[in-house]
Structure 1
Amino acid sequence: MAAPDALLVMGVSGSGKSTVGAQLASKLGWKFYDADDYHPEENRVKMGRGIPLNDQDRIPWLCNLHDILLRDVASGHCVVLACSALKKMYRDILIRGKAGAAPKCEELGKEEKPSEVQLLVVHLSGSFELISGRLLKRKGHFMPSQLLQSQFDTLEPPVAPENFIQVSVDKNLSEIIATIMETLKMK
């Protein structure tokens, strides 16, 4: 695979996606987006009530994020996106847009060729106990800690042939960033 146009920093809530993603973007001089900032209000309300999102809630949000990635990459910008992207299908949507979600998003016309984003997935992984402890300390976020189990239940960790690396969140932030930066040098 060619060098990535975008990095997806993924994992369950509380794994450090926003912190790691923002710091990576700053180090690389890339644009940074936190997918949480793009949730429609109805998704925020649902999660705030302790109701897990389903595919119907997530697919339009992910299609919108794909469009943002594609727009920036097409204009010559590299991007870091912090997004849970718990299922392979969700990561496929971020790479291919609606074509990655077929048949759940409207089908692309037969003559249209989907545009892909060259994406390197950075999976921040950790135990339920470690991440749960972090969530309990977090204040002012719309995602309540009681939804963490639903995120672990939904999680489909990336596997080959996906372009990914897995980084344990039991390391400190500088070690996590160094591991990712080292991987990027090899791409």
Structure 2
Amino acid sequence: MEAYGVLLLMGVSGSGKSTVGTLLASELGWKFYDADDYHPEENRMKMSRGIPLNDQDRIPWLYKLHGILLREIASGERVVLACSALKKMYRDILIRGKDGTPRKHDKLGKEEEPPEVKLFVVHLSGSFEVISGRLLKRKGHFMPPKLLQSQFNTLEPPSAPENFIQISVDKELSEIITTIMEALKVQ
């Protein structure tokens, strides 16, 4: 369990990332961040008007999240992050930040590797029907249910060599938490 500084709960809107993340962080004694809290107002407004976000909207947001994760890890914290992270490229940004970031040099002038976030991915997955039913019951969120299909269209489920597990949202919440805790012990 010591290998990972960040546990990423990913999936489409309505998959339970925030609910699972809050409980899991409490259980582990880790900090919890909900990536939705860090969307710029323009992104929130765009989604609330029913317009799906694109890479140009998401990438600066992901850079900001990477910076938060690096800061927390550097201060010795471990983090549970609830973030859609729908594409592999997005997860790579959470790990490595900006490609092309100027490299630092050590005292001997040797180029240092940029810091990476050790990420363990939990993909909360479910059918369109199950998740859209959940979204229709959700109140007060800026992400309207009509954008769900665009998220499924964008979704690139994690695959090797990513460090991940996939869990069905059809399971009971307690079972989801137990499965994640067991997976962390194996890591």
Pair in the same fold by TM > 0.5: yes
SS for the counterpart of 2:116 is coil
Distance 2:120 2:183 in 1: 10
Contact conserved, 1:6 with 1:80, CA < 8 A, in 2?
yes
Structure 1 runs of 4+ aligned residues shifted over 4 Å read none
Q: Which residue of 2 aligns with 1:41?
A: 41
Contact conserved, 1:13 with 1:151, CA < 8 A, in 2?
yes
Larger Rg: 2
CA RMSD after TM alignment = 1.2
Residue 84 to residue 125, structure 1, CA distance change in 2 (3 Å): same
Contact conserved, 1:39 with 1:61, CA < 8 A, in 2?
yes
- Structure 1 unaligned residues grouped into runs of 5+: 100-106
Distance 2:89 2:6 in 1: 17
CA offset digits 1:160-179 (Å, max 9, x no partner): 00010101100010000000
Distance 1:176 1:2 in 2: 21
SS for the counterpart of 2:165 is strand
Q: Which residue of 2 aligns with 1:63?
A: 63
Q: Using the TM superposition, give the Cα deviation of residue 114 of structure 1 relative to its aligned residue in structure 2, in angstroms.
A: 1.8
Distance 1:67 1:112 in 2: 18
Distance 2:22 2:134 in 1: 18
SS for the counterpart of 2:23 is helix
Q: Which residue, out of 98, 101, 107, partners 1:108?
A: 101
Q: Which residue of 2 aligns with 1:9?
A: 9
Distance 2:179 2:101 in 1: 38
1:152 aligns with 2:145: no
Distance 2:53 2:145 in 1: 14
Q: Which residue of 1 aligns with 2:106?
A: none
Q: Using the TM superposition, give the Cα deviation of residue 82 of structure 1 relative to its aligned residue in structure 2, in angstroms.
A: 0.1
Q: Which amino acid aligns with 1:75?
A: S
Distance 1:58 1:86 in 2: 10
CA offset digits 1:99-150 (Å, max 9, x no partner): 2xxxxxxx22255632101000000000000000000000000000000000
Identity %: 79
Q: Which residue of 2 aligns with 1:139?
A: 139
When the two structures are aligned, how many residues end up with a matched partner?
A: 180
SS for the counterpart of 1:98 is coil
Q: Which amino acid aligns with 1:83?
A: C
Give matches, 1:85-124, under 5 Å: 85-99=85-99, 107-110=100-103, 111=111, 113-124=113-124
Residue 160 to residue 179, structure 1, CA distance change in 2 (3 Å): same
Distance 2:139 2:148 in 1: 15
> TM-score, normalised to structure 1's length?
0.94
